[in-house]
Structure formats: C-alpha cells, structure tokens
Amino acid sequence: MVDLNVIASLCKRRGFIYQSSEIYGGLGSVWDYGPLGAELKNNVKNLWWRSMVYERDDVEGLDAAILMHPEVWKTSGHVTSFKDLLVDCKSCKKRFRYDLIKTKSCPECKGELTEPRPFNLMFKTFVGSVESEANEVFLRPETAQGIFVNFKNVLISSRKKLPFGVAQIGKAFRNEITTGNFIFRSREFEQMELEYFTDPEESDKWFEYWVNERFKWYQQYGIKKENIKLRRHEKEELAHYAKSCYDIEFLFPMGWSELEGIAHRTDFDLKQHAKISGKELSYYDELAKKDIIPHVIEPSGGVDRAFLAFLLDAYKEEKVRGEKRVVLSLHKYLAPVKVAVLPLLKNRPEIVEMAKAIYKDLRGDRKVQYDDAASIGRLYRRQDEIGTLYCVTVDVESLEDKKVTVRDRDTMKQDRIDVSMLKKYIEERTR
C-alpha cells in the first residue's frame, strides 16, 4: 500500500487538498479541498446519492441545518455520552485518547499520564447577540438527528410506507482529541447517512441487508476486495443507542480503520424525541390498524474517509517503456476530470483553434481540461496522475481528416475518432 505522505503530497501538489488557513500556519485537523478535490468529493457524494436515492424508490433526501435546538443533543444522549476519555502527559503536555493509546506512559515522551477523564467532543457556539448559557447551541456532531426530528415531516409530505429511508449528506463537527492521519480524522468533515425506518419485526433482516449493500458498494466503485472487511462490534463497544453494529473497515496505511458504520439504532431516537418533545413520532400501520414506532437501521459513512480510501486504492505506479507512470485509476464516476483536450502543436493556430472548439463542445456536462503547456509526454503524465479518463489530442492530420486521437487512461490504447462522433464516444464511456 502506498504511503500516506505520498498521497498527501500528491493531493497538495495537484490541488486536491490543502491545509486549512495554511498561510497562518494551518488549523489542526481541518482541511480545504482544492479544484480537483472539490470535483472528487462532489463525485463521491453524487455517487452515494445516486445509489441511495435515485436508484431506489424507498428513499427520499433531506438537507437539514447544521445548527439545531440544543434540546436535540440532550435528548439524543450526546450531551452526556458523546465523550472520549482523555489523558494528559504530565511532561510534554500532549493529550491523547485513552482508548487509542497502547502504553501506560506517554506514547511520545514516555512521561507520566494523568488519570483518564471524559471530554465532550461537541463544539459549542451561541445564537443571537448574547453569549450566555441560555443561547448555547452545538455544531452537529452527526447529521442523523436532523433526520429523526424531521421524521414526521418527511413521512407526511412524501406519503412513504414502511420500510423507507431518509438520506442526507452534510457537514459534521467533532473536537477530536487524537487527530492526524491526514483527512482520516478531521474536526470538520462530511457524513453520508441513511436512516432506514422499518417495522420492528423486520429490522434484523434490513440490518443485514444494509450491511451487505454498503459492503458491496465500496467494492463496486474501486475498493479492492483484500482491503475491505466487516467487523462486528463487541457488546461493550456499542454506542448508547445501538443494538448491534458493524464497521466496514478499510486497510488504511496506518492499519485497519473504520470507513463506515452500520448501526441498528432500534426505536431509541424516535422514542426519546417523542418523549422529550411531547410530539407523537409514530407510524400508523394500516394492516395492523395500530401505531408503531419504527426501528432504524443506519449506514453512516464519512465522505472524507471514502475519498481517501478511493484515492489510496486507485493510486498506481507503473513502468511504461522504462519510465515511471503514476496513474490514479479511479472509477469513471469518481475521476475528477473526464477528458483532457491537448493540441499537439501549440504554435499552429489552426490546431489550437480546433482543440479549443472541441474543448468547448465537450465541457458543460462534465469536467474537461484544456492543456497545451508542455510536450505531449508530459501532458499525458500530468493527466494520468490525476486520473483523467480520456486524453484527446489534435494534430496536423486532424486538420485534414477531421479526426482526433483518443487515449484511454487504463489501457493507454489510442483510437482515431471522427470529431463529429467524439461527444457520443465520450458520453457512452463516462455515463
């Protein structure tokens, strides 16, 4: 597996990921996505949305606000339970997550550690102009609660029948103690969460269904079979709301770590919110002629972790005719740039003109780059390194025969295509 530093430096150099506020020395474990990173991240999210919402008829989307009524987080248990145990080193003053350190002394300087104490991971801020406890709100540490509190709204407006799900993608914030490993553990990140509401009697079946479905999804879009596995949580490990839980783990360079969690949340959240808000959050079962509180199955994945996993498994170094070729063999839906248009001779105005016309014709529905700033060998290498699916070159003959050369990223095979057929050729292969 490629070293994380190699990926981090490629990400910086090619505009995938920068450190946040870098010119001020950065902000710990907060990251900015550059031009190509924004494309890849959008593609990850769009792919998830496509699989979870568009390709199904039992799931609707939602986009809830990041700020919520503070009572939500008391009811959900986050105010009391969303804590990690923290230890401080008495010598170097560094802080560590108690459950992640394997030694009794400081992992950095071997100094003596304090007793572990709980530390709440939620960020606080204030609404309105007065900074008082009464105006305190939290930045959401998960997107799920936005779905639970809107359960009745979505049910009524979409007229869904059980089982049905609500999907949401959005930012979440956690004041993580142990950070690092690039974007794997950030303080601001994005989640892709589905809350799937089922009849309590059928919930175990759906739990299994979603574990399999999500496990397949990553492999379908580029994660290697040998780098992904399922791990069932031990009883002691389960979150306060969960009856059972599987982690989908990926073999990151630092070892097997969580990519996504699939939890059986029972009726914990709906019941709690109904109790505390005094609003009825049930579902009328027409067959049984009674109200039921659905159980919830929750596949919860991180956009940033999926981004990193897809990138790691796509990264390849090859030898081609004695030269090193770095290529990102990302799935066609994920590749940030679909096509690059490259004029072979940039000092021939007719060639440049033709290449620019092709570029303008292809862009719009997909990300296309135009590049004439190097020799063709260098241009190909630059595009391979960012995973561009097709390179279209325009040469002197193109002026005569109105044909261009299309090079495939993975096979490096070249096709000579009639310009009038090019858009169709690309559409067929990137759809």
- Can you give the binding site for ligand ATP, defined by CB under 6 A? 142, 174, 176, 185-186, 189, 191, 258-261, 300-302, 304-305
- Tell me the torsion sign for CA atoms 328, 333, 337, 339: positive
Q: Are 310 and 221 in contact (CB under 8 A)?
A: yes
**Residue 31 to residues 169, 184, 248, 262, Cα–Cα distance (Å):** 18, 11, 24, 26
Cβ(182)–Cβ(308) below 8 Å: yes
Compute φ and ψ for 399, nearest 5 degrees: -65, -35
Q: Which is nearer to ligand ATP, 39 or 247 (CB)?
A: 247
Smallest gap from Cβ 101 to ligand ATP, in A, equals 14
CB 191, CB 143: distance < 8 Å: yes
Q: Report d(CA 287, CA 292) in Å as an integer.
A: 11
Contact indicator for 418, 405 with CB cutoff of 8 Å:
no
- Report the alpha-carbon angle 54-57-62, nearest 5: 60
Question: Which CB sits closer to ligand ATP, 302 or 387?
Answer: 302
Q: How far is the CB of 383 from ligand ATP (least distance, A)?
A: 29
Residue 47 CB neighbours (<10 A): 19
What is the closest distance, in whole angstroms, from the C-beta atom of residue 248 to ligand ATP in the complex? 8
Q: Which is nearer to ligand ATP, 14 or 185 (CB)?
A: 185
To the nearest whole angstrom, how small is the minimum distance from the Cβ of residue 344 to ligand ATP?
43
Residue nearest ligand ATP (C-beta atom): 302
Cβ proximity to ligand ATP, 142 vs 384, nearer residue: 142
Q: Give the nearer residue to ligand ATP in terms of CB position, either 233 or 348.
A: 233
Of residues 197 and 250, the one with the C-beta less far from ligand ATP: 250
Contact by Cβ (8 Å): 244, 264: yes
Work out how close the CB of 107 gets to ligand ATP at its nearest, in angstroms, rounded to a whole number. Answer: 18
Least distance CB 292 / ligand ATP (angstroms): 26
End-to-end alpha-carbon separation of the chain, Å? 30
Supply 236's token pair.
């002691």
Smaller CB separation from ligand ATP, 46 or 257:
257
Distance of closest approach, residue 277 Cβ to ligand ATP, in angstroms: 23
Euclidean distance between CA atoms 164 and 150, whole angstroms? 14
CA-CA distance, 34 to 266, in Å (whole number)? Answer: 40
Closer of 265 and 338 to ligand ATP (Cβ): 265
The Cα 354–Cα 339 span in angstroms is 16
Least Å distance, CB 29 to ligand ATP, is: 8
CB 93 within 8 A of CB 100: no
